[in-house]
Structure 1
Amino acid sequence: MKRLENHLIGIDQGDEILFSDFQDGGEMWTGRGQRERRRRVLFSEEFRAPPNVHVSISMWDVDTKTALRADVAAEEIDAAGFDLVFRTWGDTRVARVRVAWIAMGEMPESDEWDIY
């Protein structure tokens, strides 16, 4: 569990269209095997330290003739942002994906100085 030691708590959120591969025949729609799509997301303001980030699929458009396989994650989290990552594998065909995210953590105090 992360304990927050600051009375200034920030919450930021968003909803990102990660890809729309059916329009141009992209690899998530036409490919097979291990596939990954990654996008850097920047927070509206920097946190004091890396926040907790939760991600979830808010929309997906998939071909139901194959098994539905998906993994969505927040990786490389720092005070400024994180990498939003979607993975699939096998013969799964994903036309498009939108991912919602929320970040919560400590914000810097207005009189806090960074002397380093």
Structure 2
Amino acid sequence: MKRLRTHLIGIEQGDVPIFADFENGGEMWTGHGARERRIPVVFTEPFLDVPAVHVGLSLSDIDSGPHQRIEILSEKVTRAGFDLVFRTWGDSRVARVRMNWTAIGELANDDDWEIR
């Protein structure tokens, strides 16, 4: 469990278009080539410590074939940002995806000070 030690809790959210491969015959739609998209997200201000990040799908346009394989996650989470990651594999065909995210964590307080 992540414990927050301060009353200054920051919550930042976003909604990011990841790709639209059906328009140009891209790899996610044709099922050939790179099957991962990674989008860097930078917070408007850094958190005091690494925040908890939750990601979700806000739009998925996937072929109605027999298999719809997807993985969505956050990676490389730091105080300043993270990577939004979408993956698919096999014969899954994905036309377009938009992902949303929420980061929750402690913020620095002007009254905080550090003895060195």
For the criterion TM > 0.5, the same-fold answer is yes
- Paired with 1:24 and 1:92, the residues of 2 have a C-alpha distance of 17
Give 1:35 deviation, angstroms.
Answer: 1.5
Q: Flag structure 1 segments of 5+ consecutive residues without an equivalent.
A: none
Worse overlay, 24-33 or 99-108: 24-33
- Paired with 2:66 and 2:98, the residues of 1 have a C-alpha distance of 20
Give 1:104 deviation, angstroms.
Answer: 0.2
1:108 maps to which residue? 108
Kindly provide the CA deviation profile for residues 15-50 of structure 1, in whole angstroms up to 9, marking residues without a partner as x.
Answer: 100111111111101124871110101112111111
1:23 maps to which residue? 23
2:70 maps to which residue? 70
- Paired with 1:13 and 1:87, the residues of 2 have a C-alpha distance of 21
1:23–1:113 Cα change, 3 Å? farther
Q: Flag structure 2 segments of 5+ consecutive residues without an equivalent.
A: none
- TM-score scaled to structure 1, two decimals? 0.92
Worse overlay, 82-91 or 32-41: 32-41
Does the 8 Å CA contact 1:8/1:109 hold for their aligned counterparts?
Answer: yes
Number of residues of Structure 1 aligned to a counterpart in Structure 2: 116
Percentage of matched positions with identical amino acids? 56
Secondary structure of residue in 2 paired with 1:22: helix
- Paired with 1:37 and 1:99, the residues of 2 have a C-alpha distance of 11
Secondary structure of residue in 1 paired with 2:29: helix
1:114–1:25 Cα change, 3 Å? farther
- TM-score scaled to structure 2, two decimals? 0.92
Secondary structure of residue in 1 paired with 2:45: coil
Give 1:115 deviation, angstroms.
Answer: 7.5
RMSD: 1.8
Give 1:96 deviation, angstroms.
Answer: 0.4
Does the 8 Å CA contact 1:33/1:89 hold for their aligned counterparts?
Answer: no
1:36 maps to which residue? 36
